[in-house]
Amino acid sequence: MKNGKAKLFYQVGGSGDALLLLHGNGESSDIFAQQFPFFTKYFTVYAL
């Protein structure tokens, strides 16, 4: 997603109730690499 000069990377996967994964300051959504596949079995996962 792009808004002006800012770029936002996100991943969406799975189905079911929504689950939002937000990383901390200085990190990226890469920290969810192992959790993302597991949670997509049960939820619609949005990793930002």
Q: Which bin fits 39, alpha (ψ -120 to 50), beta or left (φ > 0)?
A: alpha
pTM: predicted TM-score of the whole model, two decimal places: 0.78
- For 4-34, write each residue's pLDDT tens digit: 777 788 899 999 999 999 988 888 778 888 9
* DSSP letters spanning 1-48: -EETTEE---EEEE-SSEEEE---TT--GGGGTTHHHHHTTTSEEEE-
Angle at 36 between CA 3 and CA 29, to 5 degrees: 40
Domain segments of the chain as ranges = 2-47
Confidence category of residue 1, pLDDT binned at 50, 70, 90: low
Please report the pLDDT score of residue 15 as a whole number. 97
